[in-house]
Structure 1
Amino acid sequence: MLDSMLFVLMFVVVVGIFSQWLAWRIRMPAIVLMSIVGLLIGPILGLVNPQESLGELFSPLISLAVAIILFEGSLNLDFREVRSFSKPLTRIVTLGAFIAWIAGSLAAHYIAGLSVAVAFVIGGLFIVTGPTVILPLLRQAKLKSRTAAILKWEGIVVDPFGALLAVFAFEAIKFINGDESFTSFLLFFTGSIFAGGLGWLFGWVLGKMFEKGQIPEYLKAPVVFAVVLLVFVFSDVIMHETGLLAVTAMGITMANMHIASINDMRHFKENISVLLVSSIFVMLTASLDPSILLEIFNPQIVLFVLAMLFIVRPLSIWLSTIGTDLMNNEKILIGWIAPRGIVALTVSGYFATVLQESGYEDAEMLTALTFALVFATVIFHGFSIGWVAKKLKLVATEKPGVLIVGGNAFTAELALSLLNEKMDVLVVDNSWEQLRYARKLGVPTYAGDILSEQTEYSLDLAPFPKMIAATEMDAYNALICSNFVVELGRDALYQTASSNVSESEYHPSIGGKILFNSSANIYDLTELVLKGFVIRKTNITEQYDYNQYLDARAKDSTLLYILRADGTLKFFTTKMELSANPGDLVVSLTPPTHILESNNDNTSPSKG
C-alpha cells in the first residue's frame, strides 16, 4: 500500500478528475465511475486507504469539502425561479420531503435495524436527490418541460436542506432520549439561529462588496472560498454541527441578492467544487473497509434500498401531490426518479463519525447503507428513466428543437423561421444586448454562457437535440461544438463558417459541421440580413420539383435548411448534398427583390 500522504492526495485528485472526464466521454453519470474507481483502488486492490494515510486530517477535510459542496447547492437557490413553478413543486419540496423523512426513517429503523436516533438522522439526509446526478439524467431522457423542471428544482431546493434536517433530527433525538437537557437543546437552537444569522450577515456583506466593486476580479473566487471556510469553521466552533447551516444560509443570501457579478462566484463553484466532489467521493469509497463493502449485500440493507425505491419515494410523491394538477403518469415518473448523489454520501460520512463519537455504535454502517442507496438509485434510475418516460408518454415532442448560440440579426431571423414551424427554439448569448434582435422578434432567449455549469441548473436543454454555434468568435464556436459532442453527437452540432480559416484548413474533429457554405460566415450572413435579405420558404411538389427550385432561386441566395414532410430537419452543410422531395419545405436567405417563378413561395420576409 502506498502510504505517503502527498502521494495519496495526488492520486485521489488525479483519479477523481479522470473519472469525471471518462464519464463525460462515455456518457455515464460520473458518480458511477467514481464509485467503481474508488472501490478498485481502495478495498478491492488495496492500493490506497485515504483514511489511514491522512489520519486526523481525514475528517476535517471531509467536513470542509461538505461545507463547500453545500454552499454550491444553496448558491443556486434563487427563489424567483422556484416561485415561477406550479403548485406540485412546492408540495413536493415541503410536505413530500417531510413524508420522505418520516417514512425513510421508519424504514431505516424497522428494516435496516438502525437505532431510532441514527435512523431519523439518516432519514433526514436521504430526502436529497441532488442536481449533480439528476441533471445528466434529464438531458439523457429529454423529458417534457414541466416534469423535467419539477425534478430539476426539487434537487436544487431540497439538496442543501437534507444535512440540516439530519442535524436537527440528531439534536432532537438526543433531547428526547434524555442525553441533553432542555437548556442544551435550547442552546442548540439558539446556536442554529446564530449560525443562520452569521451566514446571512457574511453573505450580505460579501454580496454588497461585490456589487460596489470593492473586491477586484482576480480576488473574487479566492475571497468567496476563504469566507465560506471562515463561516463554516467559526460557526462550528461556537456551536458544534451548525457550520453547515451557516454556509447554506450564506449561499441562499447571495443567490437572492441577484448580484451582477454572481457568475464570478459560480465560476469559483465550477472549478473548486468539481475538484472537491471528484476527490472526496473517491476518498470515501477508497476508504471503505472490505467488511463494510460486504455489508452492502446484507439482506437488511438490500431490503431497505428496495423500500426506499418502491415504497418511500412513491408514497411521498403521491401523498404530497393530492389535490394538485399533476397527472398520474407524471406522479409515477417523479415517484420513481430520485437518484442520491455526492452530498448524501459525503454528509453521511460526516454524520457517521459524529454519531459514533456520541456513542451510537450502529452508525458505523451508515457509509455502507448510503453507498448502497446511492449506487442503486444512480444505476436503476439512470438506465431506466428514458424507457419509463417513453412508456408514460412524457418524452418531449419529437419535433427537432434547435438551440442557437450567438445573438445577432441573422440568428434571430433563422430562429423565427424555425419557431414559425412550431419547433422549440432558443437563442443563447453572453450579452443581453446582443439578444435584442431575437427579443424584438419574439424569439425565446437566454443570457448566459452555454459552457457554464450554471446553465445546466437554470436552463433545460432537453428540448434541443440540435445546436448551432454562430457567435462572432470562431474558436468559441468550435469549443462549444466540441464540448457537446458526447451529449448530442457530432451529427447534431453545427457552426457557421470561419471568417479567417479556409475550408481545407478546417479540422472536423475540433468542431461541428460547417453550415450552409464555406463563405457564409456569421459576419456576411448578418450583413445580408441588415441589407434586407429575407428568409423565404418554398414548398416542393410533384409539379415544382427541387431542380426547378434551384434553377429559379437567386444566385446570391443561401440555402439554409430543409424541413422534411415527416418533420425531420436537415441543415445544408459544406460536406452534405441535400435533395428535397415532394412535401418538403426548402428554406433560404434570399434577396428581397427576388420572386421565384412559382406560386410555391409561401413565406413573406420574416421581420416579425
Structure 2
Amino acid sequence: MESLLFKLMLIGSLGVVSQWIAWRYRMPAIVVMSVMGLLAGPIFGIINPQQDLGELYGPLISIAVGIILFEGSLNLDFREIKGLGRPIGRITTIGAFLAWVIGSLAAHYIAGLSWAVAFVIGAIFIVTGPTVILPLLRQAKLKPRPAAILKWEGIIVDPFGALLAVFAYEFIKFLTMDQVTFTTVLSFLFASLIAVIIGAFFGYGIGWMFEKGFVPEYLKSPVVLVSVIMAFVFSDTVMHETGLLAVTVMGITIANMHISSIGDMRHFKENISILLISVVFILLTASLNRETLLSIFDWHIIFFILFMLFINRPLSIFLSTINTDLTLKEKLLVGWIAPRGIVALTVSGYFAEVLLDAGFADADILTSLTFGLVFATVCAHGFSLSWIAKKLGLSAESKPGVLIVGSSKFSANFAKVLEDLNIPVLISDSSWSRLSHARRLGVPYEHGEILSEQTDYQIDLTPYEYMISLTEYDSYNTLISSTFTPAFGRQHLYQLPLQVNQGDQLEDVSNHISGRLLFEERANWSLLNEKINKGYLFKRTMITEQFSFEQFLEELNDESILLLVVRKSGSIDFFTPTNDVRAETGDTVVSLQKPNQM
C-alpha cells in the first residue's frame, strides 16, 4: 500500500513538475512529460503504472480523457467561428476522411500492416486533440484565425477518430467474420446517436438547472464533474468509445447556452484538465516497455511517420480547403501542425488488444507505431510552431503587449509611449467620451464593457501579456483584476493604488482578489491625471555604461514617478510599491517628469 501511495505521489509530482519546467523554459509541455515518463518507466524502471494500478489503469485513463475532452469542448462557442465555418467544416469532414484513407494506405503499403489493422490505425491517427493542441496554442500565441481552426479541429475530430476506428473495426468484422451481420454495423450507428442524445441531455440539463438557481454556487463544479463522468459512463456502457462523443456534445451544448456560470465552470475544468493531462501522459509513457521503444526504430515505422508528417497531413488539408477563404500561409501552417496525443495512445492500446484477440497478429506493433508518431509529431510541431508562425506572419507580436482598462489623459498618453516603444497596446473603455483621449492620440482602442461576455469575441487577448486597470474607480479596478486572474495570472495584473478619499474604503480588501499596485502608493488616478494637466511629460531614458540606473535615480526629482522598465530583451517590468525593480545597461526606463527635467 505504501509503495502504491509513493508511486501515485511520484506520478502526480512528475506531471506537475513537467508543466512547470515547460512554462519556465518555454518548452512544449507534452515533450517534457513524455521524457519524464520514459525516464521513470521503461528507462529506470521506477514505476510501471499499468502493472501497479492493475484493473484501475484503463478506466482511470478513459475517464480522465473524457474530462479533458469536455473541458476543451466548453470553449467551442459557435460565435467564435464566425467567418470560419466553411474551412473548419471542410477540415473536420472531408479533411478527416482524406487523412483516414491516405493514412490507411500508408499503414498498409509502408508499415506493412494488413488491411484490417491499417484502416483501424488510420482512423485513430486523424486525431489531434485538445491534450496537445491547447497547450501548444497557449505557448505559441497565434493569430485568431489559425488558432481557432486548429483548436476546433482538435476538439471536434478527437472523439470522431475513436468512433471511426470502432466503425472500421465493426465493418472489417462484417466483411471477414460470418458471425457479424449488417445489424451490427447499424447498431454502431444507433449507439453513436444515443451518445449524442445523452450528451445533449446532460448539457442542457446542467445549463437549465444552473440558470434556474437549482444548484448553489459551491456545488456547481462538483455537479458538473460528476455529470461529465455519468454521461461518459452511460454512453460507454451502450458501446465502447462512444463516451468521448457524449462528453464532447455535452460541452458544446453548455458552451452555446451562454449561461452566466460558464466562466467559473471553464476555469475549474481547465485546472483539472491541466492536472489530468500531466498525470495521464506520465501514466502512458511510463507504462511502455523497452521492446516497444526499440521497435520504433524499425525503418518501416520511421518511413510511415515521415509520410504522415510531410505528405498525409499537408495533402489532406490542401485538398479539403480548396475554394475556401484560407490563405496559402494559413494552409501551410494548418497543414503542418497535427500533433497526436493521449486519445491516440489510449485508443490504439485498446484496439491492439482487440485486434490481437481477433487473430490479427500484426496488431502487436500498434503501440510502437502510435508512440513513435505521437512523440515525433509532438516534438516536431511543438518546437516548430512558434518559429513557423513567425516566418509566415501568423503569430501575434513577439513583444509582450499591454491591455489598458480605462481611458483618461494619463492612460492615453501612457499608451502612446508604449506604442512608440513598439509594445502592442490597446485601451478599452465603455465610454465614447473618455475614449476621445485615445482617439486624439491615435492609440488603438476598443469601445465596450471589458466585463461583458462579448469581450472574448470582440477583443483578441492573445497579444497582451499584461492587463492594467487605470480607471478612477477603485472597486471597478479590483473587480477587473479578480475577473481576469485566470486569463492573465496575478503576476501580470496591475491596478492603480486606492484613492482612499473617494469613499470606496477598500483598504482591507484581500490581496487575493486585487491586482498588484502600480508605480507607487501615492500614484492614484487623481494624482496622475493632475500631473498631466500640469504639463508633466513622459520621458524615456536609456541606461548605459556611462549613465547608470543609480545616476538616473540621483538626478530624478522627488515629484517624478517611475513607471516601467523595458528590458533590452523586450520584456516589461512595472515599478510597484513592493518590487525593487532595477534597470541594467541597455534597458529603457519610462518615467513621468516635470517639463524642466526633460
User: Normalised by the shorter chain, which TM-score bucket?
Assistant: 0.7 to 0.9
What SS is found at the alignment partner of 1:443?
strand
Superposition deviation, residue 221 in structure 1: 1.5
Residues 60-209 of structure 1: pairs in structure 2 closer than 5 A: 60-85=59-84, 87-138=86-137, 140-178=139-177, 180-209=180-209
The alignment status of 1:41 with 2:40, answered yes or no, reads: yes
Match of 1:518 in 2: 520
Match of 1:472 in 2: 478
Match of 1:16 in 2: 15
Match of 2:430 in 1: 436
Superposition deviation, residue 250 in structure 1: 1.6
| Residues 299/266 of structure 1: CA separation in 2 closer, same or farther (3 Å cut) | same
Superposition deviation, residue 375 in structure 1: 1.2
| Residues 439/302 of structure 1: CA separation in 2 closer, same or farther (3 Å cut) | farther
Q: Using the alignment, how far apart are the partners of 1:439 and 1:48 within structure 2?
A: 64
Residues 265-280 of structure 1: pairs in structure 2 closer than 5 A: 265-280=265-280
Q: Using the alignment, how far apart are the partners of 1:128 and 1:313 within structure 2?
A: 11
The alignment status of 1:255 with 2:255, answered yes or no, reads: yes
Deviations 1:75-97 (A, max 9, x none): 22222212343643443233222
Relative to the length of structure 2, the TM-score reads 0.76
Residues 277-426 of structure 1: pairs in structure 2 closer than 5 A: 277-396=277-396, 402-404=401-403, 413=412, 417=416, 424-426=424-426
Aligned partner of 2:11: which letter? V
What SS is found at the alignment partner of 1:114?
coil
Aligned partner of 1:199: which letter? G
What SS is found at the alignment partner of 2:180?
coil
Deviates most, 160-169 or 309-318: 160-169
What SS is found at the alignment partner of 1:387?
helix
| Residues 325/207 of structure 1: CA separation in 2 closer, same or farther (3 Å cut) | closer
What SS is found at the alignment partner of 1:472?
helix
Deviations 1:142-166 (A, max 9, x none): 5444334433443344334332333
Q: Using the alignment, how far apart are the partners of 1:484 and 1:127 within structure 2?
A: 38
Superposition deviation, residue 181 in structure 1: 0.4
Relative to the length of structure 1, the TM-score reads 0.75
| Residues 238/328 of structure 1: CA separation in 2 closer, same or farther (3 Å cut) | closer
Q: Is the 8 A contact 1:419 1:443 kept in 2?
A: no
| Residues 222/410 of structure 1: CA separation in 2 closer, same or farther (3 Å cut) | farther
Q: Is the 8 A contact 2:81 2:148 kept in 1?
A: no
Residues 558-573 of structure 1: pairs in structure 2 closer than 5 A: 573=575
| Residues 76/117 of structure 1: CA separation in 2 closer, same or farther (3 Å cut) | farther
| Residues 63/364 of structure 1: CA separation in 2 closer, same or farther (3 Å cut) | farther
Match of 1:212 in 2: 212
Q: Using the alignment, how far apart are the partners of 1:104 and 1:15 within structure 2?
A: 34
Q: Is the 8 A contact 1:97 1:127 kept in 2?
A: yes
Structure 1, gaps ≥5 residues long: 429-434, 486-492, 501-510, 541-553, 591-595, 601-608
| Residues 363/258 of structure 1: CA separation in 2 closer, same or farther (3 Å cut) | farther
| Residues 538/188 of structure 1: CA separation in 2 closer, same or farther (3 Å cut) | closer
Q: Using the alignment, how far apart are the partners of 1:531 and 1:237 within structure 2?
A: 69
Superposition deviation, residue 140 in structure 1: 4.6
Q: Using the alignment, how far apart are the partners of 1:264 and 1:478 within structure 2?
A: 11
Q: Is the 8 A contact 1:131 1:152 kept in 2?
A: yes
| Residues 28/538 of structure 1: CA separation in 2 closer, same or farther (3 Å cut) | closer
Pairwise CA RMSD: 4.7
Deviations 1:422-459 (A, max 9, x none): 9743468xxxxxx5358973526685799xxxx99998
Q: Is the 8 A contact 2:414 2:538 kept in 1?
A: no
| Residues 415/157 of structure 1: CA separation in 2 closer, same or farther (3 Å cut) | farther
Q: Is the 8 A contact 2:490 2:516 kept in 1?
A: no
Q: Using the alignment, how far apart are the partners of 1:89 and 1:439 within structure 2?
A: 40
Q: Is the 8 A contact 1:109 1:116 kept in 2?
A: yes
Superposition deviation, residue 302 in structure 1: 1.0
Among all aligned residue pairs of Structure 1 and Structure 2, give the percentage whose two residues are the same amino acid.
54
Deviates most, 99-108 or 529-538: 529-538
Superposition deviation, residue 185 in structure 1: 1.5
Q: Using the alignment, how far apart are the partners of 2:571 and 2:289 within structure 1?
A: 54
What SS is found at the alignment partner of 1:260?
coil
Q: Is the 8 A contact 2:143 2:396 kept in 1?
A: yes
| Residues 275/146 of structure 1: CA separation in 2 closer, same or farther (3 Å cut) | closer
Deviations 1:572-598 (A, max 9, x none): 84756899xxxx9x99699xxxxx89x
Deviates most, 7-16 or 308-317: 7-16
Q: Using the alignment, how far apart are the partners of 1:380 and 1:55 within structure 2?
A: 33
Superposition deviation, residue 346 in structure 1: 3.2
| Residues 465/264 of structure 1: CA separation in 2 closer, same or farther (3 Å cut) | closer
| Residues 556/99 of structure 1: CA separation in 2 closer, same or farther (3 Å cut) | same
Aligned partner of 1:324: which letter? T
| Residues 379/353 of structure 1: CA separation in 2 closer, same or farther (3 Å cut) | same
Q: Is the 8 A contact 2:404 2:411 kept in 1?
A: no
Q: Using the alignment, how far apart are the partners of 1:356 and 1:215 within structure 2?
A: 47
| Residues 526/370 of structure 1: CA separation in 2 closer, same or farther (3 Å cut) | farther
What SS is found at the alignment partner of 1:403?
strand
Q: Is the 8 A contact 1:415 1:426 kept in 2?
A: no
| Residues 495/225 of structure 1: CA separation in 2 closer, same or farther (3 Å cut) | closer
Residues 491-506 of structure 1: pairs in structure 2 closer than 5 A: 495-496=494-495, 499=498
Q: Is the 8 A contact 1:482 1:512 kept in 2?
A: no
| Residues 140/228 of structure 1: CA separation in 2 closer, same or farther (3 Å cut) | closer
Structure 2, gaps ≥5 residues long: 436-444, 471-476, 500-513, 541-556
Q: Using the alignment, how far apart are the partners of 1:479 and 1:73 within structure 2?
A: 19
Deviations 1:514-554 (A, max 9, x none): 75x42454xx22676599959998899xxxxxxxxxxxxx9
Aligned partner of 2:145: which letter? R
Residues 568-583 of structure 1: pairs in structure 2 closer than 5 A: 573=575, 575=581
Match of 2:552 in 1: none
Aligned partner of 1:371: which letter? F
Aligned partner of 2:117: which letter? V
| Residues 264/484 of structure 1: CA separation in 2 closer, same or farther (3 Å cut) | closer
Deviations 1:256-312 (A, max 9, x none): 211111123223312332222221211111111221111111211111110111000
Q: Is the 8 A contact 1:17 1:278 kept in 2?
A: yes
Q: Is the 8 A contact 1:406 1:472 kept in 2?
A: no
Aligned partner of 2:284: which letter? L
Q: Is the 8 A contact 2:478 2:515 kept in 1?
A: no
Q: Using the alignment, how far apart are the partners of 1:350 and 1:273 within structure 2?
A: 22
Q: Using the alignment, how far apart are the partners of 1:374 and 1:57 within structure 2?
A: 24
Superposition deviation, residue 558 in structure 1: 6.3
Deviates most, 209-218 or 473-482: 473-482
Q: Is the 8 A contact 1:481 1:495 kept in 2?
A: no
Deviates most, 270-279 or 151-160: 151-160
What SS is found at the alignment partner of 2:430?
helix
| Residues 58/512 of structure 1: CA separation in 2 closer, same or farther (3 Å cut) | same
What SS is found at the alignment partner of 2:478?
coil
Q: Is the 8 A contact 2:405 2:467 kept in 1?
A: no
Superposition deviation, residue 212 in structure 1: 0.8
